[in-house]
Amino acid sequence: MYADHTVEAAPTRIIEIGEVTAGIAVPERGGVRFFSSQRDFDRLDGTVFASVEQAARAARERFRARSGAPSRGRPTGAGHLRAV
């Protein structure tokens, strides 16, 4: 008999910056691919990041650049990740 060597894939993650849903991070070989859910994050759309955390960091930086928020410190709830 053959052993079942299936590996469960990591879940897709929703990336939220405060109350704003930036997009989703979908696991794939070599990391996660970001799909934007709002135009403000379209520059990141299709980018493969090494990790969900790296994708969330890029989305936070993009949010700060678009909103004019200071680059230091974190707005309340920034970077909140939730499994789908």
Bridge partners, 77 (sequence order): none
**Percent of the chain's residues with pLDDT above 90:** 64
For residues 26 and 11, give the distance between their C-alpha atoms in angstroms, rounded to a whole number: 7
| Band (80; pLDDT cuts 50, 70, 90) | low
| Whole-model pTM over 0.85 | no
Tokens, residue 17: 């910056």
